[in-house]
Structure 1
């Protein structure tokens, strides 16, 4: 799953590939709100998963995960997929 959408402008994307420093900065700034949104969703998901694992551990099987998978997911930092 790709966390970042494709660029709307091919020109900016091509400049990014060429290594144009200004384009890199613009690309990074344009992606910042999207990255923050993704990070927040991961934080909320992992927090809710942890709460569910503690309160109702039998529901972990219902979502198709094993206990070790849940523990591994909870242990990840927010920036990691």
Structure 2
């Protein structure tokens, strides 16, 4: 059996205590953070595309190939990974 370097919580520890309205608040927070991640990814792609079109030599400075940039630009903004 492999050694796990961190403790795994029991199922009772993994679920937060029942607090009225906590789920709704958590969902609202999750939705906001998700939308913020999407916006950040979209801005990143726009900036990357501008740099690619404006000065392709910037990619060498960043350490990316043209293929990597094109692959990144082809991905939808909602694929945040």
Q: Structure 1 stretches of 5 or more lacking a match?
A: 1-10, 16-21
- State whether structure 2 residue 18 is matched by structure 1 residue 51: no
Instruction: Count matched residues.
Output: 63
Whole-angstrom distance in 2 between the partners of 1:30 and 1:54:
36
Instruction: Tell me how far apart the structure 2 counterparts of residues 28 and 69 of structure 1 sit (CA, whole Å).
Output: 34
Structure (1 or 2) with the larger CA radius of gyration: 2
Q: Which has the higher helix share?
A: 1
Provide TM-score, normalisation by structure 1: 0.67
Provide the C-alpha distance between the structure 2 equivalents of 1:58 and 1:30, rounded to a whole number of angstroms: 40
Aligned-pair distance for 1:26?
5.2
Query: What residue ranges of structure 2 are gaps of 5+ in the alignment?
Result: 1-11, 17-21
Provide the aligned C-alpha RMSD in A: 2.1
For residues 40 and 29 of structure 2, the distance between their equivalents in structure 1, rounded to whole angstroms, comes to 19
Q: Give the TM-score of the pair, scaled to structure 2.
A: 0.67
The match for 1:63 is 62
**Where has structure 1 moved over 4 Å in runs of 4 or more?**
none
